[in-house]
Structure 1
Amino acid sequence: MDSIIGVKYNGGVVIAADSNNARSILVYQHNLDKISQIAPNAILGLSGPNADLVSFSEYISKNLKLYSLSNPGQDLSTKAIASFCRNTLAVALRKGPYQVQTLLGGWDVSPSTEDGEGSMYFLDYMGSLQKVNYGIQGYASNFALSVLDREWREGLTKEEAIKIIDNCINVLDTRFLISQPTFTIKSASKDGVKVEREVVAKYGVERNN
């Protein structure tokens, strides 16, 4: 029942995730962070059982840290991180699958633009990988994917990308049967990873950082 929403903009990516930690008919908490910083300029939004969310995100982040320590000054690109995540999921599929659906977003230095560029990848637990400009994991796609189809365009600013995320959250708040009252929004850009805001959708309240 998790909702992960991602939008690429000119110079980075924005990913939002609901903060519910639930199982069956019971909600344990409304402040679970489902967006992990796995590299200095990369974030991973995860949907799935809490145990798999934690184990998969920690496995990826620790291995990326090990790589950076073993190869100083040679940080992996977002594409390389996506390939490593895909391989990890594919290998686990034949052993003990990670039941996670993910959106990976990151920022990389680009020779064509001074500010670099963002990129986003859609991965599922079967090991499928696709580069996308926007994406949604979870039942939220039934309601909010049309919003992304209509409103995304090339050259978005961060503010415009966050506005699209807000519109998606508003649609879920109105139409989705499952209550997801809190969302966390994070961005990855040349300035690193930043928590943009926490949205209490049910009451229309925003807590800006």
Structure 2
Amino acid sequence: MDVSFAITGKGYVILAADTTAAHSIIKVKLDEDKIKELSPHLLMAYSGEPGDTVQFAEYVERNIRLYQIRNLYPLRPSSAASWIRRSLADSLRSRKPYSVNLLLGGYDTTTHTPHLYWMDYLGTLVDVPFAAHGYGSYFALSLLDRYHDPEAPLEEGLAVLKRCIDEVTKRLVVAQPKYKVKVVDKDGVREVEL
């Protein structure tokens, strides 16, 4: 039932994820943060099986921080995406694979460009301008395809994202009531309100 969206624009990446934690048909909590800050310029939105998502997100967060401590500089978004994809692929070939879908957004401070990566539980990695996971993707991807502008300022990107969330809320039977939205750009990571 998880829903997550991401969109790139002129110098930024926006990630949004619902805040509902559910077990079967029961809502457990409504304030779950499903977007993990991995480094000062790197965010990861995760969805999937509740235990797997939290465990894998914390594993990724700790290892990326360990890399930064050992090497005195953070991983660039492309390198982080490759490492995470490899971790998912390795777990897929083990006895206990993670059932996790990811959206990885980051700002590369060396090239001054935003990057967005779509990953699924099979270890598939794609560099995309916009992405979605969950049931909300059935409604949002067509809107993102039509209204996404890679040169749009942040306000327009947030408007497109709000349009996607409104469409999912209106059309999806099990629509999620709240979303957490975070932006990563040259200034780092911050949370914004829609």
After TM superposition, the score normalised by the length of structure 2 is 0.96
- Give the corresponding residue for 2:14: 14
What is the rounded CA distance, in whole Å, between the counterparts of 1:160 and 1:61 in structure 2? 30
SS of structure 1 residue aligned to 2:151: coil
What is the rounded CA distance, in whole Å, between the counterparts of 1:179 and 1:28 in structure 2? 15
Select the residue among 189, 194, 197 that pairs with 2:190.
194
* Structure 2 letter corresponding to 1:190: K
What is the rounded CA distance, in whole Å, between the counterparts of 1:75 and 1:65 in structure 2? 8
SS of structure 1 residue aligned to 2:176: coil
1:33 CA drift (Å): 0.4
Question: 1:126 and 2:125 equivalent?
Answer: no
1:97 CA drift (Å): 1.1
- Give the corresponding residue for 2:63: 63
What is the rounded CA distance, in whole Å, between the counterparts of 2:43 and 2:65 in structure 1? 14
- Give the corresponding residue for 2:90: 91
- Give the corresponding residue for 1:3: 3
- Give the corresponding residue for 1:79: 78
Q: How many correspondences in the alignment?
A: 193
Percent identical residues: 36
- Give the corresponding residue for 1:30: 30
Select the residue among 169, 180, 183 that pairs with 2:176.
180
Give the alignment of 1:147-186 within 5 angstroms: 147-186=143-182
Q: Summarize deviations over 1:91-144 as a string: whole Å, max 9, x none.
A: 000111111101000001244xxxx11100000010000000000001111111
1:54 CA drift (Å): 1.2
What is the rounded CA distance, in whole Å, between the counterparts of 2:175 and 2:78 in structure 1? 34
After TM superposition, the score normalised by the length of structure 1 is 0.90
What is the rounded CA distance, in whole Å, between the counterparts of 2:119 and 2:164 in structure 1? 20
* Structure 1 letter corresponding to 2:86: N
* Structure 1 letter corresponding to 2:46: L
* Structure 1 letter corresponding to 2:146: R
* Structure 2 letter corresponding to 1:86: R
- Give the corresponding residue for 1:200: none
- Give the corresponding residue for 2:50: 50
SS of structure 1 residue aligned to 2:79: helix
Q: C-alpha root-mean-square deviation of aligned residues, in Å?
A: 1.0
SS of structure 1 residue aligned to 2:33: coil
SS of structure 1 residue aligned to 2:109: strand
Q: Summarize deviations over 1:64-100 as a string: whole Å, max 9, x none.
A: 111111111x321100000010000000001111111
Q: Summarize deviations over 1:1-50 as a string: whole Å, max 9, x none.
A: 10010000111100000111012111101110000001110000001122
What is the rounded CA distance, in whole Å, between the counterparts of 1:92 and 1:7 in structure 2? 28
What is the rounded CA distance, in whole Å, between the counterparts of 1:123 and 1:97 in structure 2? 15
Structure 2 residue ranges without an equivalent (≥5): none
What is the rounded CA distance, in whole Å, between the counterparts of 1:29 and 1:179 in structure 2? 15
Structure 1 residue ranges without an equivalent (≥5): 198-205
What is the rounded CA distance, in whole Å, between the counterparts of 1:136 and 1:69 in structure 2? 32
Which 4+ stretches in 1 moved above 2 angstroms?
Answer: none
